[in-house]
A and B are shown apart, each in its own frame.
Chain A
Amino acid sequence: MLRKFAAPKIFYPLAGKLMPWFFWTFAVLGAVGLYWGLMLAPVDAVQGQAYRIMYVHVPSAWMSMMIYTSMAVSAAAVLVWRTKVAEYWLLCSPGLGASFTFITLVTGSLWGKPMWGTYWVWDARLTSELVLLFIYFAILAMKGAIPDRRKAARVMAMITVVGFVNIPIIKFSVDWWTTLHQGDSIFRKGGPSIAPSMLVPLFMMALSFSSYYFWLVLKHIRTLIERSAA
């Protein structure tokens, strides 16, 4: 079963069928989420308008970790089974992952200036997210340095597996150590500490960003399959 879907011949048309669904989910939820987050959601009692940065910051941060996790799963498949589609997934993901990590760092910094009073501090959360950006860069560098795609994927898989230890560190850094970065507002005991009227657009943006990732990764994989067939 699993192997069947992992064959490029099966995967190619399947990806083609899924892409429009992901595109429209991204476009519609993104448009509604943007309007809701910027225009309809109320002002925050403490932070004023600046809290609206969270509608791009938080989904990007989730994406930076989710993309890496999907890469780690692909990496295991690459190392154990040499699955071709997993190789493609690994080749096509780190660019998007690095992009979302970059967005997370810059938007967080723009929020930090008016809220904390500083653009940057070396606390555990901020530092581990920066480390994630460097890990993505290392994986991308391997893709650029090794011309043979299958060999490149295998080396990228090894770095991905080693770098995966950073993901739980990012996630739990705010619980394990004292940080300037606040704790989790959503996945916490007793439910989210965000008013429902502010939470709905956040989930919309998160779903929109995930669909965007799946849309583009499928598009990119299809390009690779086309080229290896040509």
Chain B
Amino acid sequence: MSLLTRKHKRRGAFLAVILIALSAATFLMLRAFSENLLFYFLPSQVKEGKAPARHDFRMGGLVLQGSVKKDGLTVHFTVTDLHDSVPVVYTGILPDLFHEGRGVIVEGRMSGPDLFKADQVLAKHDAKYQPPEMTPEMKKYMQAH
């Protein structure tokens, strides 16, 4: 009893053709919609005018070191992608992970050429997990990676 008789080869080839066609169709669709699949724009993209001007959008990057200024519930900070930066103003409660030097995503719109007015601030996690105090071996391990 052979695993690949003519019947099986025909069915296998049919399956392969369907798989290839499906992958190609998916690939083309994802390429076409790639822009819409972006959850946020980087500050340099915003500066280049690639972000939508008329409706709300999201901008993501790092909170610039030393840029956070709190005034009651209103907070000013700058989002940077280390190439360009955009100042942001937000009124409300910040997520616990919000911190200078860490990832952040702000949702809102540009108000004026150089100010982003945010309605929502989301913290982005950097995918690093480590205890607060590490032994020297652990520090060495984390630095190596």
- Chain A in direct contact with chain B (Cβ < 8 angstroms): yes
* Bound: A80/B12 CA distance, A: 6
- B113 contacts chain A at the CB level, 8 A cutoff: no
Closest A residue, CB atoms, query B93: A117
- Residues of B near A165 (CB, < 8 A) are 22-23, 26
Closest B residue, CB atoms, query A177: B37
Interface residues of A in 149-178 (CB under 8 A from B): 161-162, 164-165, 169, 176-178
Interface string of A37-75 (1 = CB under 8 A from B): 000001111110001001000000000000000000000
Q: Compute the total of residue contacts between A and B using a CB distance below 8 Å.
A: 131
Instruction: Say yes or no: A121 contacts B141, CB within 8 Å.
Output: no
- B82 contacts chain A at the CB level, 8 A cutoff: no
Instruction: Say yes or no: A193 contacts B128, CB within 8 Å.
Output: yes
Known: A79-B11, A117-B121. A195 touches B1 (CB 8 A): no
Instruction: Say yes or no: B129 contacts A185, CB within 8 Å.
Output: yes
- Residues of B near A184 (CB, < 8 A) are 127
- Return B30 CB to nearest CB of chain A, in Å: 7
* Bound: A114/B123 CA distance, A: 10
Interface residues of B in 90-109 (CB under 8 A from A): 94-99, 102, 105
- Return B80 CB to nearest CB of chain A, in Å: 15
Instruction: Say yes or no: A191 contacts B145, CB within 8 Å.
Output: yes
* Bound: A164/B96 CA distance, A: 37
Q: Which one, A114, A122, A178, A195, contacts B138 given CB within 8 A?
A: A195
Q: Which one, A2, A115, A161, contacts B96 given CB within 8 A?
A: A115
- Return B77 CB to nearest CB of chain A, in Å: 15
B binding-site residues for A, Cβ under 8 Å: 1, 3, 8, 11-12, 15, 18-19, 22-23, 26, 30, 34, 37-42, 60, 94-99, 102, 105, 120-132, 134, 138, 141-142, 144-145
Extra contacts, 7 of them, besides A122-B39, A178-B41 (Cβ < 8 A), are: A44-B130, A45-B131, A116-B124, A123-B39, A161-B19, A177-B34, A177-B37
